[in-house]
Structure formats: C-alpha cells, structure tokens
Amino acid sequence: MKREKKDYYEILGVPRNATQEEIRKAYKRLVKEWHPDRHPENRKEAEQRFKEIQEAYEVLSDPQKRAMYDRFGYVGEQPVYQEAETGGSFFEDVFREFENIFNRDIFDVFFGEESGRRERREYARRGEDIRYTIEVNLSDLINGTEIPIEYERYETCPRCGGTGVEPDSGYISCPRCGGTGRIREEKRSFFGYFVSERTCDECGGTGRVPQELCHECGGSGRVLRRVRRTIKIPPNIEDGGHLRIPGGGNAGYYGGPYGDLIITVRVRSDSRFKRSGKDLIYDITIDYLQAILGTTVEIPLPEGGTTMLKIPPGTQPETVFRLKGKGLPGEYGRRGDLLVNVHVEIPKNLSREERKVLEDLAKKRGIPVA
C-alpha cells in the first residue's frame, strides 16, 4: 500500500537547492500562518496543513534525512518513505502512538480548548551554589567575627524578570520540534525503522521559544553582577567548617530559586602555635633553676589574652602541660587542648661563684663532677 505523494519542498514553498536558513525561515512563516488557533473556522484543514509543514521541516531540516529524501524520494507515485510492517509512515506512527497512549489527538492536547487555560511553562530550576573560602585568625575562629566579602554571581535579569524574553514580545511555537518539546529521530535499515527520542535542543523541551530575546541578558534570564555582603563567622567554628548562606548563590532559571553561598572557613597559621589536630602546641623555654625550684610562667591563648601556668619544682625537660579546652574548636564547638611543651635551658658558661655553689651541692649529694 502506498501513500499519496508529498513534495516537502513544495509544502514549504522553497526550491530544491534551498539553504537551511531559507528552509528555517519558510518554516517559521508557515507555522505562524497555519497555526490551528488562527483558523478556528477551518481547524481541521489547518491541523492537516500544520502536520504537513511539521513533517516537511522534520525531513528537510535534517541533513541526513534530506539527503535520503533527495535520493530515494517519490518517483511517480512512490512516497518518500515506504510503509513499514506496522503500517503508515514514521510520522503517522508518532501521532497514532500518541493517540493510543492518551486516547486523544495530539493537536487537541496542545491546540485544543485546554490550550487557552493551560500554558506550557519552562522547567523552573534552582540556581547554582557558589563556593567561597574565607581565612580567619585563630582568635576569629574562636571568638567569631564579621568579614566583608565581594564576589560575582548571576542575578535575575531586571529587564525581563528572568524569562529571557524581551518585554511585550511573547513566545512562539518552537520551530524545531513544532511545540512538542521532543525530537524523534528514525533510522532505516533492512529490519525496518529504529526510532529514538530526545529533548529538543532548540527550546530545551519547553515547546516554545521567545519571539525576541531580551536585549539585556540575551535570553538567559540572568545577568552577572558583583555583590558585597558581610559574613558573620560564629564563635568556635571548626577549621575547614562550612557556612551556608541561603539565596546567596546564582539566580535560578525560569523563576527557580537562587542557589546558596557556601563559605569554607580556614584558619591562618600562627607562628606562636603548632597544630596537632584540634590541639595546639606551645613551646616555652625556662631556666634550669626555674625547672629545679619551680616557677610561674605566662602562656598566650589562641583567642587572645594570656593565662598563668605554674611550673612545679623538679620539672624535667620536655615535660608537657595540658590546658584543657584551650585549643581549636572541633565538632559541635568542643575545643581541643593547649599543650605547653617545656624546654629547660642549661647554661654553657657559669660564673666562678655559680660553679662553686653547684660543686658544693654536688659534693654534698655525693655526685661526682669534673
């Protein structure tokens, strides 16, 4: 069984050597002219013409399909596509399958009575998060602080309100997919037709495109802006910890929400302290007499200020004193410890009086000396 022949070039009103741009322009013009909503009195005829225009453009806009059509197109009464075992052309199968699934004509869905009440909308998508790293001092990490920052982000275009459409221009049906939002592609082989479907790359699956792109954002719905804000660093935040600022990221797409600003807090190195996980190590050197007799020393604290540490008599070299909860903040704000490592300095040169005192002490304790 053979279908009635169709000349796709004649349907679009273009010569057989027409360029892709000429085919595209002709298609856009005819789609507007024969849109079923524009012909309520002759809707059936308009739908039929609209289908033919879609079918013609589907073939002629694809270089491979067009080459196949030019080479194996109708001769006399031969159609461009012979019918597969399922009966009917690829395009007829598409419409038939749609009707089988939804029990409705595809054009009734998109252009029927419901089209005025239910508008196709772009898929609202959340904007991307932005990551920013802040370096703070030890005291800021423990006490908290406020730090001003400046960064770039995409904001909703003020001219089009994020739609990407020039104000007062509106939308038109996507010329690539004919308003369906999907592109079906078929390949012919000895075994019949192989059909695949993908999202329309022209409209992103929405089925419509702006009649005129916004002059400010170029159709993206977003513009790049440099913004300033003050970030509040809470007390006892963990080094490498994160702060999430809701809505501080990039603007969403098609009315979607803004992404977040994610702050990573890093502590600057402090020459006074060494780090061991959440613990801080502070090295102090005392005189050997202080180690023998005991003393009290002043220890700096990472949050600022100092504390007094009592060194008991007889403290040995490399003794470590632990100041609980004076280290870096950890999980749930719990702080590590401050470890005070005591070094004892032994004098290399002694005065005559000092040496005599030590020799007498050694003799008294029975300690042999040189």
pLDDT at 76: 30
pTM of this structure: 0.55
What pLDDT was estimated at residue 37?
A: 76
Decide which of 199 and 315 is more confident.
315
CA quadruple 267, 269, 273, 279: dihedral positive or negative? positive
SS3 249: coil
- Amino acid 261: pLDDT: 97
Higher-pLDDT residue of 106 and 287 is 287
Lowest mean pLDDT across 74-83, 182-191, 266-275, 356-365: 74-83
Using the predicted structure, report yes or no on whether residue 272 has a pLDDT greater than 70. Answer: yes
Is 287 assigned a ligand-binding role in the annotation?
A: no
pLDDT tens per residue, range 204-220: 788 888 888 889 988 88
Tens digits of per-residue pLDDT, 3-17?
A: 455 788 889 999 888
> How far apart are the C-alpha atoms of 125 and 165, rounded to whole Å?
17
Q: β-strands 279-287, 274-276: how paired? A: antiparallel
The β-bridge relationship of strands 338-345 and 279-287 is parallel
Which distant-in-sequence residues (6+ apart) come within 8 Å of 291 by Cβ?
Answer: 311, 314, 315, 316, 317, 342, 344
96 is in an annotated binding site: no
- Predicted confidence band of residue 112 (pLDDT cuts 50, 70, 90): very low
Distance CA 11, CA 57 (A): 9
Structure confidence at residue 158 (pLDDT)? 94
Query: Residue 121's pLDDT band (boundaries 50, 70, 90)?
Result: very low
> By three-state DSSP, how is residue 108 classified?
helix
In the predicted model, what is the mean pLDDT of residues 172-194?
A: 77
Give the domain ranges of the chain.
1-71, 123-165+216-268, 170-209, 271-343
What share of the chain in percent tops pLDDT 70? 82
Instruction: Using the predicted structure, report yes or no on whether residue 195 has a pLDDT greater than 90.
Output: no
- Tell whether the model's pLDDT for residue 243 goes beyond 90: yes
Q: Say what the pLDDT of residue 346 is.
A: 92
Confidence class of residue 193 from pLDDT cuts 50, 70 and 90? Answer: low
The span from the CA of 46 to the CA of 74, in Å, is 25
Q: For the structural domain made of 123-165+216-268, what CATH number should be given?
A: 2.60.260.20
- Is a pLDDT exceeding 50 seen at residue 200? yes
Residue-level pLDDT at 320: 97
170 in a labelled binding site: no
In sequence order, what are the residues at sequence separation of 6 or more whose Cβ sits closer than 8 angstroms to the Cβ of residue 189? Answer: none
What distances in angstroms separate CA 1 from CA 81, 83, 97, 170, 260, one per listed residue? 12, 7, 20, 44, 61
Residue 159 assigned to a binding site? no
Q: Which residue has the higher pLDDT, 292 or 219?
A: 292
Q: CA-to-CA distance for 340 and 322, rounded, in angstroms?
A: 6
Question: Facing residues of 146 across strands?
Answer: 232
- 58, two tokens: 């589907």
Mean model confidence pLDDT for the chain: 82
Q: Which residue has the higher pLDDT, 331 or 228?
A: 228
pLDDT at 116 over 50: no
Using CA atoms, how far apart are residues 238 and 242, in angstroms rounded to an integer? 8
What confidence score (pLDDT) does residue 118 get?
32
Residues 134, 139: Cα–Cα separation, whole Å? 14
CATH tag, 1-71: 1.10.287.110
Q: Is 160 labeled as ligand-binding?
A: yes
1-71 and 271-343: identical CATH topology:
no
Q: What percent of the chain has pLDDT over 90?
A: 36
307 vs 32, more confident? 307
Task: Give 151's pLDDT tier (boundaries 50, 70, 90).
Answer: very high
Model pLDDT for residues 19-69, shown as the tens digit of each residue? 888 888 888 889 888 887 788 888 888 888 888 888 888 888 888 788 777
Q: What pLDDT shows up at residue 73?
A: 59
345 backbone φψ class: left, alpha, beta (φ>0; ψ -120 to 50): beta
Give the position of tokens 């920052």: 149
Token pair in block for residue 152: 């770039």
- Strand segments, DSSP code E, in the chain are 130-136, 145-156, 171-173, 182-189, 192-199, 208-210, 222-233, 242-245, 261-267, 274-276, 279-287, 295-300, 306-311, 319-323, 338-345
57 has binding-site annotation = no
pLDDT above 90 (res 232) = yes
- Return the number of other C-beta atoms located less than 10 Å from residue 33's C-beta: 13
Looking at residue 92, what is its pLDDT?
52
Q: What 3-state class would DSSP assign to 138?
A: helix
Using CA atoms, how far apart are residues 101 and 292, in angstroms rounded to an integer? 94
Q: Does residue 245 surpass a pLDDT of 80?
A: yes
Q: Above 70 in pLDDT, residue 104?
A: no
Region 315-344: mean pLDDT is 92
Is pLDDT at 139 greater than 60 in this prediction?
Answer: yes
Six-digit token pair at 322? 């632990």
Count of residues in the chain? 370
Q: What is the CATH number of domain 271-343?
A: 2.60.260.20
